[in-house]
Amino acid sequence: MNLNFIWEALTVLFVGYVLLRIAGKKTVSQMTGLEVITLLATASMIGHAVAGDGLWKTLLTLCTFVALLIAVQFLALKFDWIDKWFIGKATMVVQDGKIIAGNLRKLRMSVDQLEAQLRAKGISDYSDLKTATIELSGQIGYEWKRHAKPVTIGDLEAFFHSKFPPLPEQPKENLFQEVVHGKHQKEVPTKWD
């Protein structure tokens, strides 16, 4: 019994994994159309290779897909028209508190769908928005009008510093320090009982 197909399948899966890591790490909702197509084509090619369509042909095809994706991504950084055609641009759907119906039609999105996305972001009235866009990922981006902007810590600090002398700041550990320094700042258990 020839068990060569097991090693070929593992090789294809490993190369596919490495190529997807090279292509970039994004969730599917953050991917552009070209990235989704490359991901699906890669998955399909891995399936065909496992089924026995030829190891080297499959690996070459996978490398070609990822090389094309990386080339387009690189060229999109250099040339705006490539970025617009292959990657896409955000579409403005609210401007100065008013919905842009024509852009919603282009997106094939109803006002109810837009309102649902706004509600999910905690926005109760689109007239409070200076702009809102539907990003390439399908998520909504927005900018508040001046009167609706929430107060930030910086705003509060500026106000309090103008009224009171600043207090000495105590350094505080946080979870991001582990990433910055590459290790835990204090001892943590390595094994769970």
The amino acid present at 117, given as its one-letter code, is Q
pLDDT at 180: 79
Q: Please report which residue ranges of the chain form alpha helices under DSSP H.
A: 4-23, 33-51, 55-78, 80-82, 101-106, 111-120, 153-163, 176-181
Question: Scanning the structure block, which residue is given the tokens 């990386």?
Answer: 70
142 with 36: CB under 8 angstroms?
Answer: no
Residue 77: Cβ-neighbour burial (10 angstroms; 0-12, 13-18, 19+): exposed
pLDDT at position 186, please?
A: 74
Structure tokens belonging to residue 77 = 């950084």
CA distance linking residue 3 with residue 178, whole number of Å = 44
User: What is the helix (H) or strand (E) element at residue 192, kind and residue range?
Assistant: none
Fill in the amino acid letter for 135: E
Predicted pLDDT of residue 40: 72
Asked whether 114 and 104 are in contact (CB, 8 A), the reply is yes
Tokens of 14: 């490993």
- For residue 92, the model assigns a pLDDT of 94
In angstroms, the CA 140 to CA 134 distance is 5
Residue-level pLDDT at 123: 92
Distance CA 57, CA 31 (A): 27
pLDDT in 10s for each residue of the chain, 193 residues: 456 656 666 676 677 667 666 665 554 555 666 677 777 777 776 666 655 556 677 777 777 777 877 888 888 888 888 777 777 788 999 999 999 999 999 888 889 999 999 999 999 998 999 999 998 777 899 999 998 888 888 888 888 888 887 777 777 777 777 777 777 777 777 666 5
